[in-house]
């Protein structure tokens, strides 16, 4: 274990609540708490036993501050793998600040953002991918993101990466040993054997890279844009999905002039949903700007919901929109099914080539079918986090892409009949890139950047 100074921070939100927690970690954590904590009899404990809870009071000199519970955890059996103390006090903002000030006064220093988790990583209790999962758990916006983050926190990504690294390292060691001792270790036919070994590794790497798209959507949400002609019912649909009157709805075409963004949760998934100006040819300068923004936003979307007014015949504007969404993930809504229909779902499905869901934003019908369609479109049914590993991190995806490129270079060297020491160079690069995911030989600047995104008490 490294010798460390003692840090402290409020580990709960700085808002009024039933309980607040002040966390202390480091070599002198026990000394600090003994200076400020007294039991009900007015005396400090003679000793602090690990993983015990003590009841008493926090004092600043002779001034009693608060009635508290003190949790004591001796390293390495704690979150940071260091001696750790947590003070459970009343959850008033002023009280938490006062106790933290007292802790700092008697020997600790303020923790930096993410420093507790950073120490857990540096002390070997968790690896870098698990540390990144901590902040994902905290920021999870839906049940899929939460399950994925918990899976990664428990080591699902780490185990897969370590297994892959172990196989690559074996081949590197074999090549080096054979080159050093050619009389006893033969490399005859080794290229073909290596090719077969690397094939499943490359496939697994490619699968993990592909999972990053689902992983990003789980964490960030599905960027969803509602498109359609003016008065098709886009804003009404937006209000129904939000469950409140957020967008202005009138019978006047072109009411929505700019984009309106909101975040909603739907059947366990997150939608970052954008209502846009109606798509049509217009001479109105302001409306034209709104239409252009709608087209630009649609070009960047993960999902387009194209709303068609079923009570009106299709026109040239509809055909332009269909052309825009032809090669995109798109669900077509046949809206206003409560009125007499001029367009059928079958006709619209044939013209657009997309799945059509009949709805009535006014009557709030068909919304459950829309939600199920979105879920199936992105997640192909229920996700299984017991077996599947999802990459939710751009940094990890980049390392995997470098790994896959290196594995392909090895295969190219085999095809070209290159000497075996060429294999080692690219194998070592693949090994090191995978190591970046779990924090092997990672640069200090990157570590600081990652943990700098954490909240102060984590």
Q: Which residue has the tokens 């040239």?
A: 316
Which tokens in the block code for residue 295? Answer: 């087209």
Residue 3 CA to residue 345 CA, distance in Å, equals 70
The pLDDT assigned to 450 comes to: 72
CATH for 141-433, options being 3.40.50.300, 3.40.50.10380, 2.40.128.110, 3.40.50.10860: 3.40.50.300
In the chain, ranges of CATH 3.40.50.300 domains = 141-433
Residue 163 CA to residue 177 CA, distance in Å, equals 21
The pLDDT assigned to 427 comes to: 93
In the chain, ranges of CATH 3.30.1360.120 domains = 7-127
One-character DSSP codes across 217-238: HHHH-EEEEEEESTTSSHHHHH
Q: 92-101, 122-131, 228-237, 306-315: lowest mean pLDDT where?
A: 228-237
The pLDDT assigned to 240 comes to: 81
Is the pLDDT score of 253 beyond 50? no
Is the pLDDT score of 376 beyond 80? no
Residue 78 CA to residue 387 CA, distance in Å, equals 28
- Determine the topology of domain 7-127 in CATH: Gyrase A; domain 2 (3.30.1360)
Average pLDDT over residues 115-123: 90
Residue 353 gets the label, from left (phi > 0), alpha (psi -120 to 50) or beta, of left
Alpha helices in 106-154 (DSSP H): 115-122, 128-139, 143-153
Which range among 104-118, 345-359, 439-453 has the greatest average pLDDT?
104-118
pTM greater than 0.75 (yes/no):
no
Helices 128-139 + 143-153 axis angle, to 10: 160
What order of strands is seen across the sheet that includes strand 260-266? 260-266, 269-275, 222-228, 303-309, 330-335, 356-358
Which tokens in the block code for residue 265? Answer: 């949760």
Please write down the long-range contacts of 315-320, taking CB distance under 8 Å and 24 or more positions apart.
315/229, 317/229, 317/279, 317/280, 317/281, 318/229, 320/279
């Amino acid at each position: 274990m490294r010798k460390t100074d003692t840090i402290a921070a409020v580990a709960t939100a700085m808002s009024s609540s039933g309980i607040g927690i002040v966390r202390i970690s480091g070599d002198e954590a026990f000394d600090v708490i003994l200076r400020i904590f007294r039991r009900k009899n007015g005396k400090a404990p003679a000793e602090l036993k690990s993983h015990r809870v003590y009841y008493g009071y926090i004092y600043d000199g002779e001034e009693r501050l608060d009635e508290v519970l003190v949790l004591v955890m001796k390293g390495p059996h704690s979150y940071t793998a260091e001696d750790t103390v947590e003070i459970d006090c009343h959850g008033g903002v002023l009280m938490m600040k006062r106790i933290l000030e007292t802790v700092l006064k008697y020997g600790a220093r303020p923790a930096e953002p993410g420093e507790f988790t950073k120490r857990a990583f540096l002390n070997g209790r968790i690896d870098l991918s698990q540390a990144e999962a901590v902040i994902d758990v905290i920021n999870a916006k839906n049940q899929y993101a939460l399950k994925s983050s918990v899976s990664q926190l428990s080591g699902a990504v780490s185990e897969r990466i370590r297994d892959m690294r172990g196989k690559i390292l074996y081949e590197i060691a074999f090549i080096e040993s054979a080159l050093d001792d050619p009389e006893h270790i033969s490399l005859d036919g080794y290229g073909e054997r290596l090719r077969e070994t690397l094939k499943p590794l490359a496939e697994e790497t490619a699968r993990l890279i592909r999972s990053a798209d689902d992983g990003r959507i789980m964490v960030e949400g599905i960027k969803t844009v509602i498109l359609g002609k003016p008065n098709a019912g886009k804003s009404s649909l937006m209000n129904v999905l939000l469950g409140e009157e957020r967008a202005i709805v009138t019978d006047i075409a072109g009411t929505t002039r700019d984009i309106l963004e909101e975040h909603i949760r739907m059947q366990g998934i997150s939608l970052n949903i954008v209502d846009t100006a109606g798509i049509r040819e217009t001479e109105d300068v302001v409306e034209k700007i709104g239409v252009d923004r709608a087209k630009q936003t649609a070009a960047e979307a993960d999902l387009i919901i194209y709303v068609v007014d079923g009570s009106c015949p299709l026109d040239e504007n509809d055909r332009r929109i269909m052309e825009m969404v032809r090669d995109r993930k798109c669900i077509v809504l046949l809206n206003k099914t409560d009125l007499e229909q001029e367009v059928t779902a079958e006709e619209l499905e044939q013209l657009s080539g997309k799945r059509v869901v009949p709805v009535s934003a006014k009557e709030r019908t068909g919304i459950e079918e829309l939600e199920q369609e979105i879920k199936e479109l992105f997640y192909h049914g229920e996700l299984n986090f017991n077996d599947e590993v999802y990459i939710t991190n751009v940094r990890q995806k980049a390392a995997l892409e470098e790994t896959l490129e290196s594995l392909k270079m090895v295969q190219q060297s085999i095809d070209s009949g290159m000497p075996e020491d060429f294999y080692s160079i690219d194998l070592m690069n693949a090994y090191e890139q995978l190591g970046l995911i779990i924090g092997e030989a990672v640069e200090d600047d990157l570590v600081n950047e990652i943990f700098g995104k954490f909240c102060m008490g984590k």
